[in-house]
Amino acid sequence: MGIISEETKKVGILIAIPIAIFVVYFLFSPSPIDPVAYEPPTPPEMSGPFAPNDLLTQSDLIGLGDIHGPEDVDEDPQGRIVAGLANGDIVRFDKSGKKEVLVNTGGRPLGLEFDAAGNLWIADAKNGLLRLSAENTLQVMATEADGIPFGFTDDLDIDQAGNVYFSDASSKWPIERYRWDAIEARPYGRLMRYSPTTDKVTVLLDNLYFANGVALSSQEDFVLVNETWRYRIVRYWIQGPKAGTHDIFIDNLPGIPDGISGNRRGTFWLALATPRNAQLDSIHPYPLLKKLIIKLPNFMQPQPVHYGFVLGLNEQGEVVSNLQDPSGEHVYEVTSVEEGQGHLLLGTLTGDRIGRLPLPVR
């Protein structure tokens, strides 16, 4: 048997001490979240209406390498593409692809939508509901509802009367802590309506599990809101005999729903930011385990997969289009889909491009 030198023992002790300190901290330090148990449904098979294909690889790429995080995109009446970037810029691309900065919100612009007067409404994760006039004047329109400040203003849609339907993903966790919101599995989200006539915000739904994408139906008789951490879409009835009630529009999606938009002709375009994460689903039933995992560095926590995934839904909640890029090399982490003049525009939370896919597609 070899003899362990005193120097080797000292090195071993020096290595063991910080490891022991880390283990004690990891096990006994307070967790920043108060998670609850959740039993996710078994994901549907990636077959049939969800069968992989490479249709998204046919997209043109706008602003490639020149932008970062165009989370939502829209098209103005002149056919110019507008996007909100991670640095707070609202940028516009003309038809030649030339980029200009319209304004910087000082926050994180997410949902974008033009109203009938040409104003651009912005759901800014940090600054609330904003409006950018045609003359590029930025105005804060709302920052709270029922005495509760918006924590994570996320997406919006606008009806013909000018009312703005929008979501606050989480009143507790800001955009930098979206992982905490996912793992904690508590409902901090709200769906709201802002009236430009009265300058008032009405809460339509609360206790939503990360209220994300928002889209009105063709007749404006209902509005959809994505519950991202429950893999489903909720329908809130605005008109008719069910007005003021809500139900599930589609459940147990094969990916994590982010943005949604309606073309006002009967089709909703749904962005799935990533396929379902088996690791995330597997830890949800165990609150104590979740308390520990959240203390790990981000790279050791459940991660999204680079994958392009978009679904088209009719107004009965049936899948009518399935667009994918399984490689995740051309289009990935799609967080918004907007139908423009003969194409779909695809946004992404962390990517460096806007996808533009010619229509029709199936």
pLDDT tens digits along 68-114: 999 999 999 999 999 999 999 999 999 888 999 999 999 999 999 99
% of the chain with per-residue pLDDT over 90: 87
Determine, yes or no, domain membership for 16: no
Task: Quote the domain boundaries for residue 182.
Answer: 46-358
Q: Into how many domains does the chain fold?
A: 1
Q: Which two tokens stand for residue 252?
A: 């147990």
Residues in Cβ contact with 18 at an 8 Å cutoff, skipping those fewer than 6 apart: none
pLDDT at 17 over 60: no
Residue 28 lies in a domain: no
Average pLDDT, whole number, for the chain? 94
Q: Which two tokens stand for residue 13?
A: 């002790």
| pLDDT tens profile 262-301 | 999 999 999 999 999 999 999 999 999 999 999 998 888 8
| 192 domain residue, yes or no | yes
Residue 10 maps to a domain: no
| The pLDDT of residue 301 | 86
| 199 part of a folded domain | yes
Q: What is the DSSP string of 333-356?
A: SEEEEEE-SSEEEEEESS-S-EEE
40 found inside a domain = no
CATH of the domain at 204: 2.120.10.30
Residue 28: count other Cβ atoms within 10 Å of its Cβ: 7
- Say if 93 falls within a structural domain: yes
Phi, psi of 244, rounded to the nearest 5 degrees:
90, -5
Residue 121's pLDDT is 98
Burial (CB count <10 Å: 0-12, 13-18, 19+), residue 116:
exposed
As a whole number, mean pLDDT of residues 170-187 equals: 97
Mean local confidence (pLDDT), 7-33: 64
Is residue 11 pLDDT above 70, yes or no? no
Q: What's residue 1's pLDDT? A: 46
pTM, 2 dp: 0.93
The confidence score (pLDDT) of residue 223 equals 98
pLDDT at residue 234 above 70? Answer: yes
2 vs 164: CA distance, rounded Å:
76
**According to the model, what pLDDT value does residue 29 have?**
79
- Average pLDDT over every residue of 199-208: 98
Residue 82 lies in a domain: yes
* pLDDT at residue 16 greater than cutoff 70: no
